[in-house]
Amino acid sequence: MGAVMVVINSGTEIEWRRRTTKKQIGIWLGWLVGISIILFAWSVISEKTVWFFVQDAPRQAADIGSRMIPPKWSYITKLLVPVWDTINIATLGTIIAMTIAVPVAFCAARNTTPHNSVRAIALFIIVSSRSVNSLIWALMLVFILGPGVLAGTIAIGLRSIGFCAKLLYESIEEIDESQVEAVKATGASNIQQMTYGILPQVLPTIAGVGIYRWDINIRESTILGLVGAGGIGLQLNGSINTLAWTQVSTILLVILVTVFISEWVSAKVRGAII
Amino acid sequence: MSSLSDKQERHYPSVWDKPPFISNSLLRWGIILGAIIYLIAAIASMEINPQRLMEGIPRGQRFIASFFPPNFADNRGVVWDGILESIWMAIISTVAGIALSVPIGLGAARNLAPFWVYITCRSIIAGSRTFPEIILAIFAVKLFGFGPFAGFIALSLGTIGFFAKLLAEDIENSSESQAEAVKATGANWFQWINYAIQPQVMPRMIGLSVYRLDINFRESAVVGIVGGGGIGATLNTAFSRYEFDTAAAILLIIILIVMVLEYASSYLRKWVQ
């Protein structure tokens, strides 16, 4: 938007406007197109909706809500192992992801990549890992590895590579080149430049990204059980399918507490590092 | 004499070592030891069955082989329908989610809202952020029945946690002096928000809404697994019918659309700022 106001001199009086007429029409057209897209999207969605069910929803919500109270506290003892599994899936998955993400990030960063074709491959790895949701990765891995914690861990790992590598390579591209040059001037080899010139600059980012992703992964690993990949989602799915609503509310509360604690830990550790 | 040179040796080491990442050595070794113990305990409790893994290798090879070549031809109508449904679902849920996020975000900014509004809005955000879209979708499907409407509700609720939180943080970081200047002209509350706060946060919010559209499209690929409509439903059907070549085609299309969206969003963000 232009910072200067438009002045229209129509002979007798001077009129001040914010935009030219052409620009104004353009903005109106933009709104028109935007709103028609939204209305069309809404019509497509509402066509496929059974409105009777939607009208019925408040009653259903009240019904389910009343069945969920009070939570079945004694069930918590059976949730300890699934919570432990969930945390393991997130932690080990993050470790796998970071081990792969660091070299991928160095290949994807413009200033450290060995070759442009390597960079293209690294970028493709990043995008494909990011665009496939961890639940879909888990769905495929359960086919290959069988149901269990291992499939979930690898799914979380594969999903997180893209996220971690993307943030890392962006920070590698933003490093201070003069430090690398200083190390180079001492006669350091390529590997030495990497470990003494670049790595110390991105080490806080590596740790920060890892912790941040771990926090997200705790949340993601709570649902992997839906497709049989271990963790507390298994219990959640089972309880919903058997309509054990008091167990469902207990599980949701446990997830809430776990996520809050992990978020707190992540914020503390990131605060200490950066 | 020798003890002196020893001391000197200690004070002026001839070989340079990198300073450790954590300077307190007790804390450093404590963390390393704790990490090793945790790793052993975690891996031990994973119940890895080597025999099952060995069986998995040829199975995995067959599985991956059955992905190729991706089958774009069969079920073309179904796949296309699913993709379109996902796109419309992503658009409408982003719009609805942002419309809901704006009042909640305003309420969750400490410098605008009284304390009880702040606490209420922050709890709504925390609740929406804690539960992944899938769990929201499970409940939406229970309440609203199968189909894209449930997915739309789940994604809109998920958008609130993301967008309202970032909006509130951005408002809290906005410049006080501009807000005061507009207030000094005698502006009422709405004018104050519209002319002092909105221009400061708008550019970032436009970028974020495109980013959220991208996330919502990706998430719409999974809410279908629990019955929330969209391409996820098609993908799930392809998996359960063992039509892996169709599944591969769907995954490729998802990756392609996400790439386009990502490129578009980074372009738009550059253009806005």
- Containing structural domain, residue A5: 1-43
CB interface of B with A, residues 79-118, below 8 Å: 84-85, 88-89, 91-92, 95
With respect to residue A64, please indicate whether it lies within any of the assigned structural domains: no
Give the residue from A141, A146, A171 showing the smallest Cα distance to A158.
A141
Q: Which two tokens stand for residue B200?
A: 């400061």
> Is there a contact between A133 and B38 if contact means CB atoms under 8 Å apart?
no
With respect to residue A67, please indicate whether it lies within any of the assigned structural domains: no
| Same structural domain, A84 and A21 | no
| Same structural domain, A85 and A39 | no
Task: Give the residue-averaged pLDDT of A122-145.
Answer: 84
Chain B CB within 8 Å of residue A256 CB: yes
| Same structural domain, A35 and A153 | no
Q: Measure in Å the smallest separation between the Cα of B160 and chain A Cα atoms.
A: 17
Q: Which two tokens stand for residue B67?
A: 């992905």
Q: What is the pLDDT of residues B152-180, one digit of tens each?
A: 989 999 999 888 988 888 888 888 888 88
| Same structural domain, A140 and A14 | no
Task: Give the residue-averaged pLDDT of A222-246.
Answer: 85
pLDDT at B49: 72
Give the whole-angstrom CA distance, residue A168 versus residue A112: 12
pLDDT at B97: 92
Q: Measure in Å the smallest separation between the Cα of A231 and chain B Cα atoms.
A: 11
With respect to residue A60, please indicate whether it lies within any of the assigned structural domains: no
User: Which chain B residues have a beta carbon less than 8 Å from that of A57?
Assistant: 143-144
SS3 track for B17-55: CCCCCCCCHHHHHHHHHHHHHHHHHHHHCCCCCHHHHHH
Q: Percent of chain A scored above 70 by pLDDT? A: 96
Evaluate if residue A254 carries a pLDDT over 60: yes
> Is there a contact between B135 and A54 if contact means CB atoms under 8 Å apart?
no
Entry pTM: 0.79
Q: What is the CATH number of the domain that holds A125?
A: 1.10.3720.10
Evaluate if residue B1 carries a pLDDT over 50: no
| Same structural domain, A117 and A228 | yes
With respect to residue A69, please indicate whether it lies within any of the assigned structural domains: no
With respect to residue A62, please indicate whether it lies within any of the assigned structural domains: no
Evaluate if residue B265 carries a pLDDT over 60: yes
- Search chain A and give the residue with CA nearest B19: A200
With respect to residue A49, please indicate whether it lies within any of the assigned structural domains: no
User: Which chain B residues have a beta carbon less than 8 Å from that of A131?
Assistant: 218, 254-255, 258-259
User: Which chain A residues have a beta carbon less than 8 Å from that of B91?
Assistant: 37-38, 41
Give the residue from B184, B133, B222 showing the smallest Cα distance to A137.
B222
> Is there a contact between B130 and A61 if contact means CB atoms under 8 Å apart?
no
With respect to residue A207, please indicate whether it lies within any of the assigned structural domains: yes
Q: Measure in Å the smallest separation between the Cα of B171 and chain A Cα atoms.
A: 21
Evaluate if residue A3 carries a pLDDT over 70: no
Q: Over chain A, what is the mean pLDDT?
A: 84
| Same structural domain, A98 and A230 | yes
Q: For residue B21, what pLDDT band results from cuts at 50, 70 and 90?
A: low
pLDDT at B209: 85
| Same structural domain, A183 and A239 | yes
Total structural domains within chain A:
2
| Same structural domain, A96 and A177 | yes
Q: H or E stretch including B147?
A: none
Task: Give the residue-averaged pLDDT of B45-54.
Answer: 74
Q: What is the pLDDT of residues A164-185, one digit of tens each?
A: 998 898 888 888 888 888 888 9
> Is there a contact between A45 and B134 if contact means CB atoms under 8 Å apart?
no
| Same structural domain, A30 and A87 | no
> Is there a contact between A135 and B53 if contact means CB atoms under 8 Å apart?
no
| Same structural domain, A83 and A135 | yes
| Same structural domain, A3 and A128 | no
CA A54 to chain CA centroid, Å, is 30
Give the domains, in start order, of chain B with CATH numbers. Answer: 77-272 (1.10.3720.10)
Evaluate if residue A103 carries a pLDDT over 50: yes
Lowest mean pLDDT, pick from A2-16, A54-68, A82-96, A119-133: A2-16
> Is there a contact between A136 and B130 if contact means CB atoms under 8 Å apart?
no
With respect to residue A5, please indicate whether it lies within any of the assigned structural domains: yes
pLDDT at A205: 85
Which among A45, A139, A255 has the least Cβ separation from residue B148? A45
Give the whole-angstrom CA distance, residue B101 versus residue B117: 14
Evaluate if residue B226 carries a pLDDT over 80: yes
pLDDT at A10: 65
pLDDT at A1: 44
> Is there a contact between B131 and A252 if contact means CB atoms under 8 Å apart?
yes
Q: Percent of chain B scored above 90 by pLDDT? A: 6
Task: Give the residue-averaged pLDDT of B124-135.
Answer: 86
Q: Percent of chain A scored above 90 by pLDDT? A: 10
Q: Which two tokens stand for residue A176?
A: 């201070």
pLDDT at A161: 92
| Same structural domain, A123 and A185 | yes
Give the residue from B112, B159, B153, B271 showing the smallest Cα distance to B207.
B271
